[in-house]
Amino acid sequence: MDELRDYFLGGRARQYRRAFSRVGWALTLMLVLNLAGQLLLQFLVSLLAPGLLSQVDVLYLISGFSSYCIAAPAALLVLRTLPAPPREAPPRSLTALQAVKLWLVCVGGSYLLNFVTQWCMDWLARGRGAPFTDPVDQIGQMSLWVSLPLTCALGPLVEELCFRRAVLERLRPYGDGFALCASAILFALFHGNLFQSLYTLAIGFLLGGVTLYTGQLRWAVGFHAAFNLISVGLSPLASALGTPGEMTFSLFVIFSMAWTLHWLVDQGENLSKAAKSMAWGDGETWGHFVVNPGMTVFLLAIVAMTWRNLS
């Protein structure tokens, strides 16, 4: 009984749950303000120029402004109330060759996991009797002048500030491995749909690992932006070029997937050593991470959001 009481009411338990709950509340606030901001802006536009709401670009601009200029700054203010430990090691850089290799891993790993996700969603769709709609496909409806700034500049910068700078850094006191894993999971969950769940989790691990290794956020922002450029820039360009462009793009995707598998085998020992050198958190830490008011509300909101995106 004493151990159970300490687990729920001890000083360490209260400290952990308070910190983790604040992270959950910050992300919940980000979800709520994003939705509220979109509704408010759409209402204002409907009063001033209702015809604009029929344009896809306007809807995405409203969504982007609400998410990146209203919701994210508010969440960052909440997260800043948690202490971030100072870095002991000096910043490290990546060579151009290392950066290209890791970018290929980011691309190839995402395509491999996307194939797995598509297979799972197709299997679920057969049981449901109707196909699911991938929300990512809707990005192709945007004009290039809207999609490029949102997905290749503002989006990567704000999301990396939230998840790799604010969340990752403030979870590091509980272990670098724990911070890496927890921030990657939260990053994947925040997207709110099953289609992106696996590859955003992998990207979260990769970008978080790069941030921990280099001690700099700019690499994560750059990789994130370059990855998004594939879907909003290179893929449409390949389609516009016709068969030669599509064949070249397909070869690039195949090469990136092959490179990813090679890299995982080649770097397996180094990755294993790095993992063993990190503290990944014990069962008590993970229990407090999940069982607290803020994180519980956030997880319930994500479940509702994911269910809505499936309908």
Q: Per residue of the chain (311 residues), give pLDDT as tens.
A: 555 555 555 567 889 999 999 999 999 999 999 999 999 999 999 999 999 999 999 999 999 999 999 999 999 999 999 998 887 778 899 999 999 999 999 999 999 999 999 999 999 888 888 788 777 777 777 888 899 999 999 999 999 999 999 999 999 999 999 999 999 999 999 998 889 999 999 999 999 999 999 999 999 999 999 999 998 888 888 988 899 999 999 999 999 999 999 999 999 999 999 999 999 999 999 999 999 999 999 999 999 999 887 76
Considering the entire predicted model, what is its pTM?
0.93
CA distance 161 to 34: 17
Q: Report which of 164, 157, 173 is spatially closest to residue 208, judged by C-alpha positions.
A: 164
The answer to whether the beta carbons of residues 70 and 37 sit under 8 Å apart is: yes
The widest CA-to-CA distance across the chain, in whole angstroms, is 70
Question: How many CB atoms neighbour CB 77 within 10 A?
Answer: 12
> Which stretches within 95-166 are classed as H helix?
96-128, 144-149, 155-160
Cα distances (Å, whole numbers) of residue 309 to 47, 73, 190, 191, 195: 28, 25, 13, 10, 10
Please tell me the distance from the alpha carbon of residue 69 to that of residue 47, in angstroms, as a whole number: 22
Which residues, 6 or more positions from 84, have their beta carbon under 8 angstroms from its beta carbon? 169, 170, 172
Residue 12 and residue 15: Cα distance in Å, rounded?
A: 5
Q: Residue 116 in contact with residue 198, Cβ under 8 Å?
A: yes
**Angle, alpha carbons 156-159-162 (nearest 5°):** 145
d(CA 281, CA 298) in angstroms, rounded, equals 21
Task: With both helix axes pointing from N to C terminus, report the angle between 176-190 and 293-310 in degrees, rounded to the nearest 10.
Answer: 40
Give the DSSP H/E element, type plus range, for residue 224: helix 218-229
Closest listed residue to residue 162, CA positions, set 67, 79, 66, 63: 79
CB 7 within 8 A of CB 44: no
Under 8 Å CB-to-CB from 179, ≥6 apart: which residues? 168, 169, 171, 172, 208, 212
